[in-house]
Amino acid sequence: MLSSRHFVSGVSSIQSLSRSAGCASSDCPAALVTSTSPRTRRRMLCFPLVGRPNCALSPMPASLRNDSFEVGGFGFVETRGLKRDAPLTTPRAGGGSVDLAITTNEPIHLMVVSDLDFTMVDHKDSESTDLLRFNMLWAADYAHNSLLVFSSGRSPEKYQQLRREVPLLTPDVGIFSVGTEILYGSSLDPDVGWENYLNEGWNRDLVLEEAQKFPALRFQEDSEQRPHKVSFFVEKDLAKDIVRDLTQRLKDCGLKVKLIYSGGYALDVLPQGAGKGEALAYLLKQLKEKNKIPKETLVCGDSGNDAELYTVEGVKGVIVGNAMEELLHWYDALQSKDHIFKATQRCAGGIIQAIEHFALGSYEVPADRIKNSSTTFDPESSDRKPASGSATREIVDVNTALVMWVNGDIPNTDAAHNRILGVMAEDGTMVYPWGEERLLRKSVVSYKSKHGLKKDSKVQVWMDCIKEQKLADNIILVSWQSWQQSTSGENRKGNFATAILRTKMGTPNGLEWVRVHETPRQCN
């Protein structure tokens, strides 16, 4: 599933905080998608085309130790000097389709399939507020039994670039280059079956040869020219004619292609069977064959090349509040649209709204849950037994509460402090990223005085790749990756974390914390 940055992250993020403190809308012309395949609903026939870690191992190197924050609690180690991942090159292994590693034995509850630019990611919000809220909601309540899919026009390379810029979770599946590349897991293993399918009847050289006859077509950068995608920039007022003429020419050459004009500037030429909708239909088929079909699928988009997503059989969809005209016009012309929700909120905020609108599950983000209950929490009032997902929720809630405490986003009350202290086992311990062990309770107590310490340059935390695993009836192991940065632009830091939780009546999620272990992780 997603990459994890949770368990340790929550606690450590707080510590690190305290330690460091101690010191367009487009009016593109309607464009044409010239073909659809039987995989997608026929209502799409014509749509507007606008549109290694060099981490600190023991013994802790002195340099790393010096960089680490000195705060009593969960800690982050400064990773500035650590190496970055090598730039991604999409692996092109031979063989058959790659299995999607689904760790849960439970039925898949929800699959969210989201576009990235201006859908999951709001490029106008430099603090990524709604994206972070979505991330924490996903980690708390969905990651344990649901699938996250990103479907973007970007190449894998440009996607990796975006990951370095904004706090993105690691999706279970990445569909890139406008539905021409399907990659699985954090290692981005390509689905070779999909590649083979797209090879049929596709002749890239011929597309290039014919396209060269159109001087108005300007090539996009090399990274966006992919095995099954040839991409150009085209002026908006020329687009309609060029799309028509190039489509005809390629057809005359016997090629089965799909042309998509998006965002008022980009023209993609793809094999006819490609596209975001076709790729999703293929993914759903793969999941069905493995008996892992999600109970619900929610597709999310903002622009022309997302329109296909809403045409896939059985999906529900959200058009985010900031959607481009091209997609809105397409929506207006639809006859059957009950399965599509037009959000009022922008980007990830609109996705959360859609989860509520379609009653797809919990939509209360952890920060709101903490805010709403922090002053009224009664440790004796709950006798819930841990259900599936309660361990991930507990980890995310406590980490969220810690961050809100140092940011001064919850009141400085005993009730708020006890929400955190009350779930730490008396003999519970934690190992910090810099190789020190402390009592969990001691760590939490040391936080008490850190309330509001980071209110001027708030700490942002997100937890990725969270997984829970039942080790015994009363013991759950949770692992995640936790990431932290600050609104003042402080460098991103990451930890791998694991935690052991034990059932305990009278706690908010029926669990208490027994052991936490954190190790620094390089930035990706």
d(C-alpha 364, C-alpha 304), whole Å? 30
Which of Mg ion, ligand GLC, none lies near 397, with the C-beta cut-off 5 to 8 A by kind? none
Residue with the CB atom nearest Mg ion in the bound state: 117
- Bridge partners (DSSP) listed for residue 148: 112
Token duo for residue 522: 């390089």
Which of Mg ion, ligand GLC, none lies near 302, with the C-beta cut-off 5 to 8 A by kind? Mg ion
- Bridge partners (DSSP) listed for residue 176: 181
- Subset of residues 123 to 162 that bind ligand GLC, contact rule: CB under 6 A: 153-154, 158
| Shortest distance, position 224 Cβ to ligand GLC, whole Å | 4
| Shortest distance, position 37 Cβ to ligand GLC, whole Å | 18
| Shortest distance, position 304 Cβ to ligand GLC, whole Å | 8
Residues binding ligand GLC: number (CB under 6 A): 12
Q: Which is nearer to ligand GLC, 175 or 391 (CB)?
A: 175
Which of ligand GLC, Mg ion, none lies near 115, with the C-beta cut-off 5 to 8 A by kind? Mg ion
Residues that bind Mg ion (CB under 5 A): 115, 117-119, 302-303
Q: Which is nearer to Mg ion, 119 or 485 (CB)?
A: 119
Q: Which is nearer to ligand GLC, 9 or 262 (CB)?
A: 262
- Subset of residues 241 to 270 that bind ligand GLC, contact rule: CB under 6 A: 262-263, 266, 268
Q: Sheet of 257-262: strands edge to edge?
A: 218-219, 230-233, 266-271, 257-262
Distant-in-sequence, close-in-space partners of 109: CB < 8 Å, separation ≥ 6: 142, 145, 146, 294, 295, 296, 361
Token duo for residue 372: 């709403």
Distant-in-sequence, close-in-space partners of 141: CB < 8 Å, separation ≥ 6: 361, 362, 389, 392, 393
d(C-alpha 63, C-alpha 515), whole Å? 27
- DSSP summary character for residue 95: S
How many CB atoms are located within 10 Å of the residue 203 CB? 17
| Shortest distance, position 268 Cβ to ligand GLC, whole Å | 5
Q: Does 178 bind ligand GLC (CB under 6 A)?
A: yes
Distant-in-sequence, close-in-space partners of 14: CB < 8 Å, separation ≥ 6: 71, 73, 74, 399, 402, 403, 405, 406, 447, 450, 459
Provide the mask over 215-244, with x wherever binding to ligand GLC is found by CB under 6 A and - wherever it is not.
-----x---x------x-------------
The three-class DSSP label of residue 523 is coil
Which of Mg ion, ligand GLC, none lies near 97, with the C-beta cut-off 5 to 8 A by kind? none
Q: Which is nearer to ligand GLC, 151 or 400 (CB)?
A: 151
Residues of this chain that interact with ligand GLC (CB under 6 A) are: 153-154, 158, 178, 220, 224, 231, 262-263, 266, 268, 305
